[in-house]
Structure 1
Amino acid sequence: MKEKLASFHVTILIFMIQTGVVIFSLPRLLAQNLGYNGWLGIVIFTCISTFNIFLISLVHRLGKGTSIFDILENSLPKFVTNTIYFVMISIWSMLGCIVAKQYVIIFQMIAFPTTHPMFFKALVDIIAYLLIIKGIYNISKAATSFFWIVIWMVLLLTFFIHDFEWANLTTFLFKGSTSFLKGGLDCYTAFLGYEIALLLIPFAENHNKFIKAVHIGNLITAISYLLVCFVCFGFFSFGQLTRLKYPLLDLLSYIKLPFIERLENLLYGFFLFSMLITIVMYCWSAIETLQRILPKVKPNWLAVFVLSTTFLIAWIPDVIGKVEKWLQILGYAETCVAFGLPALILFILWIRKGHREHV
């Protein structure tokens, strides 16, 4: 009998999937796109993601814990489901790939400027492969261990209480924004990851608490984002925030300890654990979907195929600007999946329910 995911593991998984490298640039994105006091946009995005999770909860309740793959395959022609699967596989596998590329390029720039970033990318992919082949239960246990390595860093924000300036927050609200709607969508992609809960439904140990666990994971992400962005908006001036590439890294560089130099490099390394779970879960989702198209192929070989293919594609964007542009496009596509996939399944379940009532 396969082991199931406890509600606590689901909560940690959702938080770890959502929390990625984007947190380093999120304060700048909020300042550029939402304007003064853009940190309050986190509250708006939390409400939107909560609504999206509500749609997932309807899928969970109306589908009675059934796998979304079974729902799609029992209601749509095979060529339609395979087309949907191909889109999902492409988006999820590439998201995992480009997130890793972004992390290793930043890591290479700040710590190992003479080392090729694809060397680090290969190491990350090997670790990801070793996690993926262990299955979702062991991935969740690893995520829980990594969670405690990462979450304590929120306490570092207390270092900046003395230099926090309330005047930097100003009395303006969302003034000076450059692109509220499109820019807001760019910022919202920081919350993506909770949609993977659709694939976790069959693995849940307690279906009554499953959606609650997803909501809690999303809430922990929102609180951590809110704290980080609030401190950044109070520590830096608005002009500084709009110019700094990665405000959180610059914030961490202000922490000085007598026995460690360049502490921000060490702290950035801790984010590898969170980023690794993001990569693993997106690639795991792609592999789970690919297995529905190729059921006779062993999952381990599918993992090799997905990771090796995306590794080759990762050579194309060779600078951080190109990588972030790819991530922006993939983020838009994943936002469509996050809202469109549960909406499609709900429509199918509604049609099926209506058909049964008329029989």
Structure 2
Amino acid sequence: MSTLQSSEKLSPYHIVILVYMTQFGVIIFSLPQLLSKAFGTNGWVMNLIFAIIVIVNMLLIGAAYWMGKGKSIFVILERAMPRIMLYPLYLFLMFVWSVLGCLVAKEYVLIFQMIAFPTTHPMFFKIALDLLVFWLMIQGIYNISKSITMLFYLTIWMLPVVCFFYADFSWSRLTPFFFREGQPSPVEFVNIFASYLGYELILMVFPYTDKKSKLIKSSIIGSLLLAFIYTYLCIITFGFFSLRQLQRMAFPLLDLMAYIKFPFIERVENLFFGAFLFTTVATVVMYLWSAQETALQVFKRANVKLVAGVLVIFAYVIAFIPDTLSDVQHWLGLFAQLEIGIAFILPLLLVVVLAFTKNKKEAAS
């Protein structure tokens, strides 16, 4: 049983912010480097291409939503095949979403530990983060969405700070040439597209919406907001650093923040990165909540708090295995490939199942 009351439906406003916050993450600090390395000059343009791919995928998800009339993906699947045949799929989704949530959290705490508390074990920070994630998971998606809306306002204030860099921004650094001196590869493509992942979890909120929610339209607006902010920050970064500098930097946006000086604060970049805890929490909560909803389909009589606790503990234990930032990023790349497959194949499967069951009903009548 879900913790959400059936009468509570997500509003378009909450969906926009939910999708935006689930997608937005600490990868923005390295995104300009990834784009410059893969696509070279004016690599920021590729943000627009990735945004188009996301919208196409959302329209596919929208087809499943409209054809299924907003029914849960589990209801749709179980009408077409026995539940026991779906258990491997459910377990696979649980595993991928739990590990992705774990890796996103571990990446954040490793970077935070590296720049702010180098002598503290990162898993101490992860305990605090996981406790907050657990508390949100058991509140239900309606309360999660309201909490994430509050977290949105605790982070959006950082965007106007980019105005500090206008004085040192130079259009000549962007050059009139596009996609020169880059080395594109499938791996780099996946790593960059991973910065947009999270939108596919709207598959899990089908039953918590109605016509007034405008799920697909609101989700597209949330992703377009993310694409705008990604593109804006990447343009500023490409115009502030040279291409060679960008390709050598691990976290260009974090280095950019270091140029801001206040007389009353040292290492301002630590303050900005600390605020990204809120976006990280939003992403981790949504992945683990999705894993929780899937687990409740396998263990129908299980207590929600028990399932949430087991998933959080599982994610915490798994986080011990990749113990360096490079290991975590390697794992993220591998699981991002699986998640991209889920993002496209799962809604396609739903569309096929819905078309098949519709034809079967028409033939029976």
Identify the TM-score tier after normalising by the shorter chain: over 0.9
Distance in structure 2 (CA, Å) of the matches to 1:317 and 1:9: 34
Q: What is the Cα deviation at residue 78 of structure 1? A: 2.5
The amino acid that maps onto 1:340 is I
- Number of residue-to-residue matches in the alignment: 359
The range that moved more, 193-202 or 169-178, is 169-178
2:96 maps to which of 86, 91, 98: 91
- Specify whether residues 14 and 253 from structure 1 end up closer, same or farther in structure 2 by C-alpha distance, changes over 3 A only: same
Q: What is the Cα deviation at residue 239 of structure 1? A: 0.4
1:116 maps to which of 121, 127, 133: 121
Instruction: Tell me the residue number matched to 2:339.
Output: 334
Distance in structure 2 (CA, Å) of the matches to 1:165 and 1:230: 10
Instruction: Tell me the residue number matched to 1:24.
Output: 29
1:278 to 2:245 alignment: no
1:68 maps to which of 65, 73, 80: 73
Kindly report which structure 2 residues correspond to 1:240-319, keeping only aligned pairs within 5 A, or say none.
240-319=245-324
Q: Which runs of 5+ in 2 are unaligned?
A: none
Q: What is the Cα deviation at residue 205 of structure 1? A: 4.3
User: TM-score, normalization: structure 2?
Assistant: 0.96
1:344 maps to which of 349, 354, 363: 349
Instruction: Tell me the residue number matched to 1:161.
Output: 166
RMSD of Structure 2 on Structure 1 (CA): 1.1
Assess if the C-alpha contact under 8 Å between 1:7 and 1:204 holds in 2. no
Q: Which runs of 5+ in 1 are unaligned?
A: none
Assess if the C-alpha contact under 8 Å between 1:7 and 1:206 holds in 2. no
User: TM-score, normalization: structure 1?
Assistant: 0.98
Q: Secondary structure of the residue that 1:161 maps to in structure 2?
A: helix
Which whole-Å deviations, capped at 9, do the CAs of 1:262-319 have from their partners, x for residues lacking one? 0000111110001101000100000000000001111100011011011111101111
Instruction: Tell me the residue number matched to 2:141.
Output: 136
1:233 to 2:262 alignment: no
Which whole-Å deviations, capped at 9, do the CAs of 1:132-163 have from their partners, x for residues lacking one? 11111111111111111111211111111110
Q: What is the Cα deviation at residue 208 of structure 1? A: 5.9
The range that moved more, 98-107 or 75-84, is 75-84
1:222 maps to which of 224, 227, 233: 227
2:181 maps to which of 169, 172, 176: 176
Q: What is the Cα deviation at residue 185 of structure 1? A: 2.3
Instruction: Tell me the residue number matched to 2:131.
Output: 126
Q: What is the Cα deviation at residue 257 of structure 1? A: 0.8
Distance in structure 1 (CA, Å) of the matches to 2:316 and 2:304: 18
Q: What is the Cα deviation at residue 180 of structure 1? A: 4.3
Q: What is the Cα deviation at residue 182 of structure 1? A: 3.5
The range that moved more, 74-83 or 111-120, is 74-83
The amino acid that maps onto 1:311 is Y
The range that moved more, 287-296 or 173-182, is 173-182
Instruction: Tell me the residue number matched to 1:37.
Output: 42
Which whole-Å deviations, capped at 9, do the CAs of 1:152-202 have from their partners, x for residues lacking one? 211111111110011111122112221244422221111111111011111
Distance in structure 1 (CA, Å) of the matches to 2:191 and 2:320: 24
Distance in structure 2 (CA, Å) of the matches to 1:149 and 1:321: 29
